[in-house]
Amino acid sequence: MSNTMIPPISFHQQEFTVLDDLVNAMGMNWMEGRQLLFSGKLREHTRKVDPSFANSCASAEKESQLKANEGNRIYLKWLCKYPGIKGLYWQGYNYGGIKRISSTLAARDETLQKLVLHMLKAQFLNSFLKNLGGSDVLVDNVRFLEKAYNKNDSKFSKKNALPILECFLNGNKSFSFAGRQFESPKDLAAYLQTFADTSKSALSRTIQPLFQDEFNFDPRFEAWIIMHGFQHELTLWKGRFQEGQGSSDDVEEFFIEEEQEQIVEARQQLESDFVKTLDGFEDKFIDLLKQYQDRMDDPIAFNALMNDYFPTNKLQSYLLMALYRMDIVKAIRDATELTEPLTARFEKRLVKDFGVKETFAKWAVGEWCHCYGELVLSKKNSVPVVIG
């Protein structure tokens, strides 16, 4: 909260000298508050003591003049974006803080549902929850939901937004499935693997309840995997199935499609350009390997992380992912010591099968050995990181 002191101002038969108190009183007294904001009086009254706040008032005033029929929505957004807000106000009613909003949503309050969906669409629900003291994880998850809700040409079912949001607000990180309670996606994956080992048809029957339809997960399941930090993987899945970027059931084909353009780039890339784009790359790669060791054995998750960490280093990312799919991770883990004779086969495959320059291949192999083998696994390493 800001607790900014302001010159005394009368509002609703009271005198206010603290900005937080005034704004929250304006939320409870809706029409009078609207009038004070849109009249310009509040802007002028706070212009000298809090210019930033006065600017937010000016923006709301201007928007109300351009959109005369949307005064309530403009006022709601202005209130929700105020850092010292203490509840969700709507036309004289206070829906309270996060816990109360969560329980009221669960009770299927139609007015609150409509408010929340509007805030999702207008993409200020995340900032409102932050102002209410919501955790960084909650705010990030809601921001992710806002993007999915507003994605054009997506088959994301918008009716799922509310149950997903309810799960976020509730904060329960366990998941009930098949008569069992799962505490993490890893536990669920291990359980499903027992069916995969039996037959594909058995696995297919078992996972059916996790899907709402061919384009959407069950909303409780989707919320659960987001809450456990699998946004990268879900983004990849959404891009493939909800936004129509591919139709094959074979996930490897997704990687192959990406690789075709990157192979051409790898063949044409000049060594001088390659070096210029390496600044800071190694530090970020080491951070990724240390932070996400639990994702190292999941090719979809690891590829998503590489794309997220290195959106502008497509060639370097491609080379490292090509080695990943050659099982360089397993080779590094199994080796007692990392030497050039051990890793030479990986360099040769990059050059022969993918047509990249030998110097680029040496760099990629050296990077894996140094960053993962030496710095993460503490193995003795004599494979240099070479470029040029």
Q: Mean of the pLDDT values across residues 246-270?
A: 42
pLDDT digits (tens, 9 = 90+) for 30-59: 999 999 999 999 999 999 999 999 999 999
Whether residue 262 is predicted with pLDDT greater than 60 in this model: the reply is: no
Task: Take residue 186 and report the two structure tokens written for it.
Answer: 């890893």
Is residue 88 within 8 Å of residue 113, measured between CB atoms?
no
Paired sense of beta strands 380-381 and 337-338, if any: parallel
Whether 16 has a pLDDT exceeding 90, the answer reads: yes
pLDDT confidence of residue 123: 96
Tell me which of 99-103, 235-239, 345-349 is least confident: 235-239
Rounded (to 5) percent helix, strand, coil in the chain: 65, 5, 25
pLDDT digits (tens, 9 = 90+) for 140-175: 999 999 998 998 877 888 999 999 999 999 999 999
Q: Could you tell me the pTM of the whole model?
A: 0.62
**In this predicted model, what pLDDT tens digit does every residue of 315-349 receive, in sequence order?**
888 889 889 988 899 999 999 999 988 889 999 98
Angle between helix axes 71-80 and 30-38 (nearest 10 degrees) is 90
Query: Which of 228, 197, 193, 219 shows the shortest CA–CA distance to 207?
Result: 193
Top mean pLDDT of 108-122, 231-245, 342-356 is at 108-122
Check pLDDT > 60 for residue 314. yes
Residue type, position 368, single letter: W
- φ and ψ of 338, to 5 deg: -95, 115
